[in-house]
Amino acid sequence: MSKLERDMNSYRAKLNLYTKELRKAKRDSWARHCESIENTSEAARLRKVLASNPTTPGYIKHPEGSWSNSSQETLELFMETHFPGCKNTDIPGSKQSNLLESTQQELNIEQIITEQKIIWAINSFKPYKSAGPDEIIPAFLQNALNVIVPWLRVIFTSCIKLRYVPMSWRKVKVVFIPKAGKPTHSTAKDYRPISLSSFLLKTLSRRTSMCTRK
């Protein structure tokens, strides 16, 4: 590019015009996106993106009126309130049950766990639902169907035959959401728990539960 003054001035003017048009296109695109939102889940996702200070539980009151003294105590109070009797235990391993012996039972499993039915189960989830501890959202599975479905069929079939659920699938992430309409959110009962588990387990569960209802 020529470094003559008139050429540099022309370059700067065109660069400024390009920058203005780019900003305008971004604003118009964002406006169209916001106007296209029609359901609650999309609006909630947008709010989460825009929230600079997302709502997180801090210190809350015990039933007798005293306040929790730490974040750990707050979490323990949430667990006692919403999951009474639940204990944190270390499970070093899990015994596998014997393989199903009945040929008829094995035949039924092969009919239930088919590649077409696994694809149906995976596609029944909304692509960007919140993931469990494994951080796998449905969109990941939906965009890799050709690769993962044959492997999932083998894994799901083995899970049922062995009556065994992989340890990583048993982990659940719980998020406590403030209940709408509450004047304050100072007690554990002012929140509701959302349990986020693995979509691999949900796929197997949805596949087998649909066949059970039939």
The domains of the chain are located at 96-213
Using CA atoms, how far apart are residues 184 and 176, in angstroms rounded to an integer?
15
Q: What pLDDT, on the 0 to 100 scale, is given for residue 152?
A: 94
CA separation for the pair 18, 48 (Å, rounded): 31
The model's pTM: 0.59
Q: For residue 119, which of 206, 197, 209 has the smallest C-alpha distance?
A: 206
If we measure between CA atoms, which residue out of 164, 192, 160 comes closest to residue 176? 192
Q: Would you say residue 133 has pLDDT above 80?
A: yes
Q: Can you tell me the mean pLDDT for 174-188?
A: 83
What do you get for the CA distance between the two ends of the chain, in Å? 72
Q: State the chain's mean pLDDT as an integer.
A: 81
- Convert the pLDDT of each residue in 85-124 to its tens digit: 776 655 555 555 554 455 445 557 777 888 999 999 999 9
